[in-house]
Structure 1
């Protein structure tokens, strides 16, 4: 291998090493704003990267603090790995849902109060394995903070239905509601039978989720103009509902005409056919007698 080739390989190795080091940076992806229903809960999606390489959760210390306030101080943290440094009015109401070792900084806040609006910023510190002492590697993502939009009353569920129901045929109605707390999803209930109900949960975008309840039933004639109600309960504290009035298309019943007609036809056949045979028999007999007299 000549010197030029060795030099090129060495340069490529240095470039690869430099690229892998420089690609690691302090960066966070946090939703900028999210709705939060007072008395309910909210989950703030968050992910981050750091310059320390692949570290276990035990080597990372997390906190969420008020923007513009000094982190790592009791009066400024809504969450901290050290529970003694959490603000009193947030104690017991916040927790990290993801693993820091997997670069997940998702935050849950429960029992939302109307002053929990923020903005709040995430901070991570790399710590030594001995004694949980911080290193010089730490970062507050003050350019990527979240602000909570306080919602005092829950949104009403949305009802989706076909134009009209038909008596005796399967009919489906969908009730859906948006929310921002997948750890405590809203409960959807109907003023109807509990069987034939399917529930789905799905992520729409940026921390916004949808819960769907699909009701399938067979309407009867007595269900026409009946009121159907779907109620959403948020964290078992606040509720909202939507309703619709069923319009059931009747299927005409012609049995009162068909059955007597069938009975009449059956009776006519029952007595008519023997009569025909008997009349034919007597006609043939009379013809025979007439022939004998003429003979």
Structure 2
């Protein structure tokens, strides 16, 4: 189906795709959300399922997803309640649990073929929970991944969620690390040089994030605690883990890919090879 012009006006980036795009309206109890399927002209791999970060709609990762589409790899990305104008009004008092249920409903549309999940930031935390429910998934891409305490997944976005994710070392209270330790598939982590910085080096408390800081005259954003990145990398056996570290990049990787096409090419190529190697 096509999407109306009124809906497109809510998108963060309304720009032409390099191939066909189809739209799915998923109906929930009291609202609906939309997903976009990018269809390549010549398919080289099954479509991947993508979960964006906080304050993202399904266009935020266009610099990556459009390159994958041009390379023959389609993707399905859904708008999740609580994160963008495109997802409004959405669920009442949405939470990570809400987003996980929305994601699983969207994923069902490509479930017979899709074995690869891509999660960005907050979406990576949801991706790990979703992958634990889907035995057919054998490849996971985590982009600037966040992990939150398990008890934070029930907290509605806003003050309650912020409080639940702000406890020092609380992010280690997640069963996602245990899931990764037993996961038999492959994991690609894409991490910015200035994300996951050591909080204590910048005067912050232990077991927290470095947050916003100035380095060499440039403002950087490092909301992911160093321990999260270390714990994720430690949870995946080395033989099944690939890592891509991006220089001059902080947590704002979507904007970085948009402003530096050569880096977007590099990241898309790495993700493309990772997906094709598992095919």
- The two structures have a TM-score, normalised by structure 2, of 0.23
Structure holding more helix per residue = 2
Q: Which has the larger radius of gyration?
A: 1
